Structure 1
Amino acid sequence: MSTDNCIPGNPDIAGVGVRIAIYVQTLLCFFPAFWALLDGKVSQGELDAAENQATTNLVLAFAILISSIVQAQTLGLTNYHASIVLNMSWLNNTNAFIYFLLYIQHKSQAGVRGRVAPTWRAWVQHIRELAVSVVHPGTAKAHPTSAGESDPELGHTDGVASIRNGVERTQLNNIQGNEDYARTGAKLLVKRFVLLLGSLHLSLMAGLGLWLWSNIRTFGKGQDAVNDCAAKHALLAILGKHVPFASEALRIVSLAIYAVFLVPGVNLLLPVVVFLGFYHLHRVAPTPKIAGSGARADSYIRPSRLRFQGHRAYNSIVQRWNILPPFIGLIFLLAINLVFIVDIELALKQNAGLQGKDEAKWGFGQILAMLLLFMPLRDLAETILARRMKQRQKDLDMGLGGAINAKDRSMVRTWIARGANPNAKFEGDTSAMHMACNLEDLDLIRSLLEAGADPNTKDGCRRDTYMVASDNTNCLRLLNKVERGSLDGVQALVQAAENGYGAAVKLLLPSLEINPEDRQNLFEALSGLNVNARNNGRTALFSALNKAQKFEAIIKFLLTAPGIDVNAPDTSGMTPLTFAARDGHEAVVKLLLAAPGIDVNTPSIGRQTPLSLAAERGYEAVVKFLLAAPGINVNAPNTDGWTPLRFAAQNGHEAVVKLLLAAPGIDVNAPSTSARTPLRFAAENGHEAVVKLLLAAPGIDVNAPDTDGWTPLLVAAVNGHEAVVKLLLAAPGIDVNAPDTKGRTPLTSAVRQGHKAAVKLLIAAPGVDVNAPDTDGCISLIFAARYSKEGVVTLLLTAPGINVNVADSLGRTPLRFAAENGHKAIVKLLLAAPGINVNMPDTNGQTPLSIAGRDGHEAVVKLLLAAPGINVNAPDTDGWTPLSSAARNGREAVVKLLLTAPGIDVNAADTSGWTAMTWAAFEGQEAIVQDLCAVPEILFDVADVQRHLEHPPGDWFMGYVPASEEEQDQCVRILEEFVESKGGGAQDGSEGGEPSGGRRDDP
């Protein structure tokens, strides 16, 4: 049997006109796709154009496929022509995949509505929600399709602008999100059904393929002989190689492939996985760097033209690196299409002898197919025209951007009048409005708003025209209210922030009393750009806290902003809560404590917590709020160990102390680093009411000493706080004699400061030791006499058991100190005390009379000389008597008093043999020499006096400066004249011999 023309011709299926039409419309789909990727982005318009073109081609493909199936069942389509139809159907289905690649690229771009990250998980979630919205509109979840990304298409924006009124705003967003997904589902069914159409086309094609390859000999109606001929003799081209039509391997592989693509929806999964795989590889691959960006030592050498062109091409690829996945996908699809075209043509050429001559005839089907090319050609022309319009618009927008950067208000208006888009996006997806706000040009901002610009300054936020127009109108209305004075500036600022009007925020901020450095912080935070923006280490929240009372509404708004760091410290380590607590802003503290994640115990520099600061300043309401906060540490110390109770007690904040004492876990005896307790601080500062509260607290230690041994009673006594001393003395377990590290008791300390009232209370206290000595042996009476506390001496002398003759470690008695200080009244009081020892010497043997005479206290000497039992000649350890001490120091009045004292020894010599006369001459005291000469008992040898004056001992005389030789000679002449007046010669009993012995420095 001859095989020539065994397969009847079918020009409506395999005719050259039909083939050319299908090849051209398939390849034409690639031109706008590649064109759309050239600028690195796929705009919504470009995506719509690709969708329209793909939809048109798929409708035509559906027509061819359906007509072929009808032919097979009615006119008897041959198996050979059915295989050609299947190959051309693969070409037609390319349109759906091209659109899908552009759709992935568009949805993955930053700033688009409903952005979907190019990850498996995000796209699975996106497809699932779209499917649910189609099947059950309104049930899709309203949340971003990618973690960490905003989805304005679904009614969500991250940042401050998404929050209007707390929960109500969130519920509104959820409703909005459901409606948007329902609307998207409706678009899939009514208009944007290119993927659905492509899936159904795949399913129909797979059904035809399974029918054909299940048995190629029985395919179609009434074509068994033709089918048998094709099965025996026809060859198909697979990747350029000829394979027998009846190959069993080809049949099995074909059945498997068409089975995979049979189920609608599922048949798109494999292409989706392949194309998303390109994106996954792109994400994990390292991003290349621009070639030639670094300086080279041989940069003066001009590179070869080939190398230059290579670098240029490479840099062009790097600059468009983000479009690499869809570009590779398009190349992949183009390669597949070219393979199918070549295989179809090879198969037709190889089997030309089997086909009938009618195959080459031009009929209605081929002419119609060629005419239908008008539709894809029209779509291509529209794409080119749209591209030109897009470029013109881009030029206008670039001109507008340049005018904004130049701050040229007139040019901005000119470019907008020419057609520039006031909502244009520039480099970095920055809007014209945001650019003007960054330049802080208020005139430009106002001009853009008047031109219809979006007041929302958030970059990457795409919104529909109606929403932009509505917000623009409302923003201008808001600004007009402020200008007319019908709306407060702060309220307007909050309303602008709640609605996301960043431009209004920028315009309103200068009218408020805000530091220039704080404006940028508040602009970024209130505009939703960066709620934690810093300037000079301070966040917007801190900037608002500086005007807490006036900006309370702003603070409230900021605290509800997503991502707000309520614990962000400034450069000094102070948190917003610390700041508000320190300044007593009750309302702000309440707001901060309600903020999620607030740390109520975060310390500032010095580790002072908000509770400590509020307690220190006595902010009762703030302390109450803080104590009610979960996790509050009522005993948190600062670097010095000072707790909130210590601060409140020290400053006498009674109400705050009462609140703290009622707090669970309060440590009433919490010591500082120097072991000072709250009671000790309250007592030191005389806060009677606070001391009373602390003494009533369970577990209070009334005798707790600090590192210096000072107890609350001691510091109260030192500072003379009578009422506090009284309270402490009445406290159970009080130790009235507790000494400090120097051994000084509360009584001793009160005496030293002269606090009579405190002394009186302490003297009357049970168990008080009025004679308790400190480490130097000084008791209270010694301190009273030493520091001339006359009234205190009077009180002490009435105290039972007081020792009036007690001496310190140097043997100094109260009388001795009073005499030294010349305090006549105290000396008089002491001399009247029973048992007083008027002659008691110190460790140097000096008596009160010696000291008073040495220092010239005439009135005290007079009192002492009148005291019973006074020893006027008592020598010290160097043998100096009161008379010699007075003469030695030039105390003439005291010398005259002593010379009148009964039993005075005017000739008494010290251990060096020096008498009062010798000392008087040595110091050039002419008056004292004459007074001594007038005493009948005086005895001296002028020559001996002269010898002493010429040769004084050098060791213990170092402390004395002798008189001049003239003064000493004058004194000697007085003595000589006195001797001559007595008849000449030496006086009997005159001193002789050389001076000997030594003296101490301080007689």
Structure 2
Amino acid sequence: MAAGSCKIPGNPDIAGVGVRIAIYVQTLLCFFPAFWALFDGKVSQGELDAAENQATTNLVLAFAILISSIVQAQTLGLTNYHASIVLNMSWLNNTNAFIYFLLYIQHKSQPGIRGRVAPTWRAWAQHVRELVVSVVHRGTASSNQTSAGSNAELGQMKGADTTSIRSGTGRTQTEDLQGHDDYARAGAKLLVKRFVLLLGSLHLSLMAGLGLWLWSNIWAFGKGQDTANDCAAKHALLAILGKHVPFASEALRIISLAIYAVFLVPGVNLLLPIIVFLGFYHLHQVVPIPKVAGSEGTPDSYIHRSRFWFGICRASNTIVQRWAILPPCIGLLFLLAINLVFIIDIELALKQNAGLQGGNEAEWGFGQILAMLLLFMPLRDLAETILARRMKQRQKDLDMGLGGAINAKDRSMVQTWIARGANPNANFEGEISAVRMACNHEDWNVTRILLEAGADPNIEDGNRRDPSGRYASAARSYKIDSDNKDCLRLLNQVEKGSLDPVKALVQAANNGYGAAFKVFLGFLGIKLGEKESFLEALSGTGINVNAGNTDGIASPAAAVTKAQEFETVILKLLLAAPGIDVNAPNTDGFTTLSLAARKGHQAIVKLLLAAPSIDVNAADTSGRTPLSFGAEKGHEAVVKLLLAAPGIDVNAPNTRGQTTLSFAAEGGHEAVVELLLAAPGIAVNAPDTNGRTPLRLAAEWGHEAVVKLLLAAPGIDVNVPNTNGWTPLIFAARYGYEAVAKLLLAAPGIDVNLPDPDGRTPLIIAARYGYEAVVKLLLAAPGIDVNAADTSGWTALTWAAFKGKEAIVQDLCAVPEIIVDVAEVKRHLENPPEGMDWMYAASKDKQDKCVRILKEFVGSKGGGDQDGSEGGEPSGGQRDDP
């Protein structure tokens, strides 16, 4: 059949110019709000919501195109040629889901965000798992099993306060059940709203199903289109990266089937693109931050430089200033390039095959007009983004003006900025709120103005805010509004004389109204030494000063959880209250001292240690002491105070046997470890229930400075293994910690050949995982057994060849004592044992290269036949130790 004698029936609803323009514009428009959201270096919650709405809308339309094409192929008939165009357009439509994911990664990885997720594949896999678990297990969000990250995320979705996420005492059974239902619903909403990827994954699967149907047999595709399909198969050309490829190309068919097979399974089809995007973040972390261009040289030298140079410097400096948003920007540019390639390929294919297509291809029918009308939605989204941006900038200017007026203590200007629309709950540099700024200046008039404008009386910044700085829900706003009115009621009652000022002070403290507390302190002129009236009021209110209520501030433990602006004052007053129990734990079993040590509140720890009845070793339900909390967090000043306390137990273990020194060593807190090692009676080799010593933990995490300190400690055991039989040196070899391995090898009494239960020595493990630098250190160690074999009979040489590590094979061959049996190595490589350890072999080509190195080595030593199968003895020798 000649090309001119066959025609492909026109299908304007699929390939019409109106449909194409609509899809092209819709796809490209979604990039503008994304780049705009990244322009200021942060992706706010509002910008993320806008991206979610846009992605959902576009994906629903994408589903409509795919489903209608599949239905048409089974009923009225859809040609194979038009099906290929639908598939190319479907790739474009799925761009929205990927753009949303890039913005979501940036939003969740921003510093200071509640529930921050590191931009790594492992962290995101854990994040998704926790969100799924929160839905499957209805009560997970109120239990200890859910992490802080997912709890915060669920609380943000539900509109709850941070403290309301934790289920405390005093709740009825009905309230607990209601809370479980709320979190189940919040989790389900989160999976739908925050994971547009689910919709995108289903779209990819549907698209892959159509692709497999088409490319399994392009001649038999669809119903009643055999003639058209035959014409397209014989004469049509498709464009791939700008080059024309025959539609019936077998190579094209195989590649297409492979690609669509990869994207067929829901969920799994997102792994490849997600890994690519997270790869941009990984590269961003390892690449050093560039310096500002043009910072060197003298002013006179700049005069002779061209405008081009200044243009380059300006562009470079712009990149440096926005370095944090480089990964998502690269991801967006990558997606944009792919989309442009698809658009160009579609147009080139249509132009090349214009002679084969029917004359009605350009007719404007219902489908094309509808497609053009649907452009209204992305255009609307773009307009909303621009408008929201302008409003956001205006609000930012108003809030900055308010901050300046508060700093200047200008009461009239504060009132003016609030009247213009400034947010009384705005956060300024350092994440300090407006009311806290006023309290810091002890400007009671400005504080009162802010409260009357609706400011949050709780001056603990970020306590009820989402990361974007705005209130996330009506429930949260209601809580702040309620507290604000309650706080103002106290102020009004004091002014009218209907409430005793000291009793109002107690109520403000009990409710956590930091702003009111500071106003009352200033109003009453209470000094730290004049507390009799406060204590009298405290005892007269009936408040239980030892109550473990984490929402109030009556108990010492609760005082530590409140804003640092007044917590020390409260604590001093409470410690002097009659009947106070300074060791009373809260509902989680934490004592006041433990909370203060964990938070690093040095002043509070000092106050508590001065209390006559303080128990410095009081442990929580898991056996954790205040000293272990301070050491774990690296609070050097707190640890120093606790170590000086009489009766301190420096070796008190928790229920898992971990000591304070273990916590400090695992965290890599060098200064704290040094303090602990100087303490009398410190147990440097104390193992936990898993046999992990401080040295083993420091070695496992690669904390070089801590390892160095521990090795210098008297009585240190450098060879003690954990319950799995792994020594510190094995851990250094396993993870390639060269500096740690060097320190361990220089330690007196080190056993360089001590194996694990599988017979694997540090040298075998280093060779197996390909850490050449560690291998070289081990080979230079006195007494190293280069020929030691594990329980499977595999030596370091065999493992290096199995993993294709040519450099390590050469290093091992350079040791005089090495015994090389090429035939034995080949036998192991060709017949590895069953099990996970042997699942990740190098390619046959790499293994063969290693074997060739061994043959050449045997030949150079005169070892007979180089394949080791006959003649000669295995190469090797014996070195005399000095």
TM normalised by structure 1 equals 0.52
Aligned residues of 1:98 and 1:330 also touching (Cα < 8 A): yes
| Separation of aligned partners in 2, 1:352 and 1:606 | 84
Q: Which residue does the alignment assign to 1:597?
A: 625
1:538-577 matches, cutoff 5 A: 544-545=571-572, 548-550=575-577, 559-560=591-592, 563-565=595-597, 575-576=606-607
Aligned residues of 2:43 and 2:106 also touching (Cα < 8 A): yes
* Gap change, CA 1:154 and 1:608, over 3 Å in 2: closer
Deviations 1:780-828 (A, max 9, x none): xxxxxxxxxxxxxxxxxxxxxxxxxxxxxxxxxxxxxxxxxxxxxxxxx
Report how far residue 51 of structure 1 moved.
1.9
| Separation of aligned partners in 1, 2:253 and 2:209 | 14
Report how far residue 116 of structure 1 moved.
3.0
* Gap change, CA 1:500 and 1:22, over 3 Å in 2: farther
Query: Which has the larger displacement, 168-177 or 201-210?
Result: 168-177
Give the partner amino acid of 1:98: I
| Separation of aligned partners in 2, 1:279 and 1:383 | 26
- The equivalent position to 2:281 in structure 1, one of 270, 279, 282, is 279
Q: Which residue does the alignment assign to 1:369?
A: 371
Deviations 1:9-30 (A, max 9, x none): 1111111111111101110111
SS state of the match for residue 611, structure 2?
A: helix
1:980-995 matches, cutoff 5 A: none
Aligned residues of 2:557 and 2:592 also touching (Cα < 8 A): no
Q: Which residue does the alignment assign to 1:35?
A: 36
1:698-737 matches, cutoff 5 A: none
* Gap change, CA 1:429 and 1:321, over 3 Å in 2: farther
| Separation of aligned partners in 2, 1:606 and 1:139 | 36
Query: Which has the larger displacement, 555-564 or 8-17?
Result: 555-564
Q: Which residue does the alignment assign to 1:503?
A: 515
Aligned residues of 1:453 and 1:468 also touching (Cα < 8 A): no
Aligned residues of 1:400 and 1:420 also touching (Cα < 8 A): yes
Give the partner amino acid of 1:82: A
Give the partner amino acid of 1:2: A
Deviations 1:336-363 (A, max 9, x none): 1001001111111122222222212222
Deviations 1:451-494 (A, max 9, x none): 11223434444253532442343255246447638888788767
| Separation of aligned partners in 2, 1:293 and 1:554 | 60
Q: Which residue does the alignment assign to 2:27?
A: 26
1:300-699 matches, cutoff 5 A: 304-460=306-462, 461-462=465-466, 463-464=471-472, 465-478=474-487, 480-481=489-490, 484=494, 501-510=513-522, 511=524, 513-514=526-527, 544-545=571-572, 548-550=575-577, 559-560=591-592, 563-565=595-597, 575-576=606-607, 578-581=609-612, 586=613, 589=614, 593=618, 597-598=625-626, 610=646
Q: Which residue does the alignment assign to 1:635?
A: none
* Gap change, CA 1:253 and 1:295, over 3 Å in 2: same
Give the partner amino acid of 1:68: S
* Gap change, CA 1:123 and 1:154, over 3 Å in 2: farther
| Separation of aligned partners in 2, 1:188 and 1:124 | 16
* Gap change, CA 1:363 and 1:254, over 3 Å in 2: same
| Separation of aligned partners in 2, 1:444 and 1:283 | 44
Give the partner amino acid of 2:417: W
Query: Which has the larger displacement, 173-182 or 437-446?
Result: 173-182
| Separation of aligned partners in 1, 2:165 and 2:498 | 22
Confirm or deny that 1:17 pairs with 2:18: yes
* Gap change, CA 1:430 and 1:255, over 3 Å in 2: farther
Give the partner amino acid of 1:48: D
* Gap change, CA 1:293 and 1:269, over 3 Å in 2: same
Confirm or deny that 1:58 pairs with 2:75: no
Report how far residue 35 of structure 1 moved.
1.0
Give the partner amino acid of 1:59: V
SS state of the match for residue 347, structure 2?
A: helix
SS state of the match for residue 565, structure 1?
A: helix
| Separation of aligned partners in 1, 2:506 and 2:298 | 55
Report how far residue 568 of structure 1 moved.
8.1
Aligned residues of 1:130 and 1:184 also touching (Cα < 8 A): no
| Separation of aligned partners in 1, 2:22 and 2:63 | 14
Give the partner amino acid of 1:120: W
| Separation of aligned partners in 1, 2:108 and 2:376 | 30
| Separation of aligned partners in 1, 2:641 and 2:141 | 50
Aligned residues of 1:433 and 1:455 also touching (Cα < 8 A): yes
SS state of the match for residue 242, structure 1?
A: strand
Aligned residues of 1:115 and 1:149 also touching (Cα < 8 A): no
Q: Which residue does the alignment assign to 1:622?
A: none
Give the partner amino acid of 1:31: F
| Separation of aligned partners in 2, 1:95 and 1:567 | 42
* Gap change, CA 1:451 and 1:190, over 3 Å in 2: same
* Gap change, CA 1:305 and 1:182, over 3 Å in 2: farther
* Gap change, CA 1:341 and 1:550, over 3 Å in 2: same
SS state of the match for residue 237, structure 1?
A: strand
Deviations 1:659-707 (A, max 9, x none): xxxxxxxxxxxxxxxxxxxxxxxxxxxxxxxxxxxxxxxxxxxxxxxxx
* Gap change, CA 1:300 and 1:249, over 3 Å in 2: closer
Give the partner amino acid of 1:75: L
Query: Which has the larger displacement, 316-325 or 297-306?
Result: 297-306
Q: Which residue does the alignment assign to 2:85?
A: 84
Report how far residue 551 of structure 1 moved.
9.3
Aligned residues of 1:11 and 1:359 also touching (Cα < 8 A): yes
TM normalised by structure 2 equals 0.59
- Structure 2: segments with no counterpart, 5+ residues: 532-552, 629-637, 649-658, 661-679, 681-882
- Structure 1: segments with no counterpart, 5+ residues: 613-629, 632-640, 642-1003
Aligned residues of 1:200 and 1:264 also touching (Cα < 8 A): yes
| Separation of aligned partners in 2, 1:347 and 1:224 | 21
| Separation of aligned partners in 1, 2:564 and 2:141 | 39
| Separation of aligned partners in 2, 1:96 and 1:453 | 38
* Gap change, CA 1:268 and 1:494, over 3 Å in 2: farther
Aligned residues of 1:490 and 1:551 also touching (Cα < 8 A): no
Q: Which residue does the alignment assign to 1:248?
A: 250
| Separation of aligned partners in 2, 1:250 and 1:474 | 67
Confirm or deny that 1:2 pairs with 2:11: no
Query: Which has the larger displacement, 26-35 or 540-549?
Result: 540-549
Q: Which residue does the alignment assign to 1:95?
A: 96
How many positions carry a matched residue from both structures? Answer: 597
Deviations 1:140-192 (A, max 9, x none): 576798778983753899xx984999952899999898556423344357766
Aligned residues of 1:568 and 1:575 also touching (Cα < 8 A): no
Q: Which residue does the alignment assign to 2:264?
A: 262
Deviations 1:758-777 (A, max 9, x none): xxxxxxxxxxxxxxxxxxxx
Report how far residue 80 of structure 1 moved.
0.8
Aligned residues of 1:577 and 1:592 also touching (Cα < 8 A): no
- The equivalent position to 1:222 in structure 2, one of 221, 224, 244, is 224
Give the percent of matched residue pairs that are identical in Structure 1 and Structure 2: 66
| Separation of aligned partners in 1, 2:599 and 2:425 | 36
Aligned residues of 2:574 and 2:580 also touching (Cα < 8 A): no
Report how far residue 94 of structure 1 moved.
0.5
SS state of the match for residue 422, structure 2?
A: coil
Report how far residue 591 of structure 1 moved.
9.3
Give the partner amino acid of 1:548: L
Q: What is the root-mean-square deviation of aligned Cα atoms in Å?
A: 4.7
Aligned residues of 1:449 and 1:472 also touching (Cα < 8 A): no
Give the partner amino acid of 2:381: D
Query: Of the two, which has the highest radius of gyration?
Result: 1
Report how far residue 213 of structure 1 moved.
0.9
